[in-house]
Amino acid sequence: MKLRLLSPTLILGLIFPLQAWAAFSDVPDLNPHKAAIESLTAAGVLTGYPDGSFKPDQDVNRAEALKIILVGLGIDTTASEGSNFSDVKSSDWFDPYVATGVKLGIVKGYDDGTFKPQQTVNRAEATKMALLAAERSLNKPNENPFPDVSTDAWFASVALEAKTANIVPPQFDGDWHPETLLSRAKISELVYRLREVKASGAAFEESKNWLVKDFATVDLKMKVPFSWSTKTDGVGAIWLLDAENSQFSMLSPYPNGATLLMTRFSNGAGLSQKAMFNSLHASLADFTEEVTVNGLPAIRVRSSDPKIYREWYVYLPNSRLVHFEALRGQGAYSPYLESAMDAIVNSIEFKASASGLSNDEALEALRSAIQVDGAGTEAKSLVTDWKLIETDAVGVGTGPVDYFYSPALNVTIKFERHFDVILDLREGETSAF
């Protein structure tokens, strides 16, 4: 009977089964692979290091990749015999994983009788190992799955399945980059998505773990893709710049760039949803259709402008109307940009202000409190996102004056402490009163 020694990382996982997997020091909330790393760590597939780090950017080798795939997919390795490679000893922690992988046809050795366990793996190699382990069908594509993956490439069927199930999506330039080495974070994402696909029977939902961000100027919160930038004051926007083509502005998207702009119609006349929608149908020259967006009534517009992918007019419970305009280039990444913007808009949720007032009503209340002694603090409480931008210690002779800015309303108030009064209000972030 062979005595198989446990790996140091596995021993660490057994000793500290509840390691602070949700708070790895080098895996911040903005890391796009955070959910995958946390999920696999909680399931006992992965462990961190004694210093509290995960080392997400560290490349994995063949032995490590194989172990993460087999354990992550719940494949039993305890009954496997020795692997019989000249560079894999029975005492090596990876011996049972290599033996199991060979037995199941997931991996094989080299002509010189070695396995090369310390050799790094690239995206194509790791994806093939994972798909074979999960027993996914690998079919030869009729056309190139990605611009840099031809139908005659040895990994073409692997890339096709990765695309179909959304297990390994393309990079921001639209290419798959099969030669890219896999890091601990990236193989975590691969195995995590494959587990999700296996459980649901459907392609992985790209927006599943996106962060939710408030856009108070349009009374909404919504999911935002990782690596996309946001503007939450004034005219709201979510965008991805085409770094490959040196795009610097969010407007006029480059081939692989996109921008989702959003503005709000205050509806001061109190028009009904039907009246506003009838007006939109009559005034918009492009094709319109009435739809629901995450339960909210909306009009969707298909524009004739090639740079405008789509527009939406969404009617909110507070009788306001929000307009979304999705701009994107037409490069190789364009289909994924369109899918992302669809997902963003379909994730929107109405977000009433804490005071129960709309932004316009809160703004009117602030204006009504100008120069009214003793009313400043109460009026300020109607808005929850104030940030102090400047304090004038000398003030107006009675005491210090503070300048508070609200991104939601895009206004600054001049507040005098002694008499608890709002002295004035200006549009934008400014202390120039």
- Residue range 332-360: mean pLDDT, rounded: 88
Residue with tokens 């087999």: 70
Share of the chain above pLDDT 70, in %: 93
Question: pLDDT band for position 269 (50/70/90)?
Answer: confident
Instruction: Return the pLDDT at 32.
Output: 96
pLDDT at 8 over 70: no
pLDDT at 18 over 70: no
Instruction: Return the pLDDT at 28.
Output: 93
Which range of 23-32, 255-264, 373-382 scores highest in mean pLDDT? It is 255-264
Phi first, then psi: give them for residue 426, nearest 5 degrees. -130, 150
Instruction: Return the pLDDT at 356.
Output: 64
Q: Hey, what domains does the chain have and what are their CATH numbers?
A: 8-200 (no CATH), 211-350 (3.40.1000), 359-427 (no CATH)
Cα–Cα distance, 247 to 269 (Å, whole number): 41
Given a contact cutoff of 8 angstroms between Cβ atoms, the answer to whether 291 and 343 are in contact is no
- Residue range 78-96: mean pLDDT, rounded: 88
Whole-model pTM: value is 0.78
Q: Encode pLDDT of 365-408 as tens digits.
A: 899 999 998 889 888 888 877 889 999 876 556 678 999 998 87
Instruction: Return the pLDDT at 395.
Output: 59
Cα–Cα distance, 433 to 431 (Å, whole number): 6
Instruction: Return the pLDDT at 407.
Output: 83
Instruction: List the alpha helices (DSSP H) in 165-291.
Output: 184-200, 273-283
Q: Which uninterrupted H or E stretch holds 422? A: strand 421-427
DSSP 25: T
pLDDT at 34 over 90: yes
pLDDT at 205 over 60: yes
Residue with tokens 């003030």: 395
The mean pLDDT value of the chain amounts to 90
- Residue range 99-103: mean pLDDT, rounded: 94
Cα–Cα distance, 161 to 177 (Å, whole number): 15
Which range of 271-280, 346-355, 403-412 scores highest in mean pLDDT? It is 271-280
pLDDT at 84 over 90: no
pLDDT at 15 over 60: no
The residues near 390 (Cβ < 8 Å, ≥ 6 apart) are: 402, 403, 431
Residues forming a β-bridge with 349: 221
Instruction: Return the pLDDT at 216.
Output: 83
Q: Encode pLDDT of 312-321 as tens digits.
A: 999 998 888 9
Cα–Cα distance, 157 to 138 (Å, whole number): 5
Given a contact cutoff of 8 angstroms between Cβ atoms, the answer to whether 219 and 227 are in contact is no
User: What separation in angstroms does the CA of 360 have from each of 253, 276, 383, 411?
Assistant: 32, 19, 11, 12
- Residue range 104-117: mean pLDDT, rounded: 95
pLDDT at 1 over 70: no
Instruction: Return the pLDDT at 108.
Output: 94
Q: Encode pLDDT of 141-189 as tens digits.
A: 999 999 999 999 999 999 999 999 999 999 999 999 999 999 999 999 9
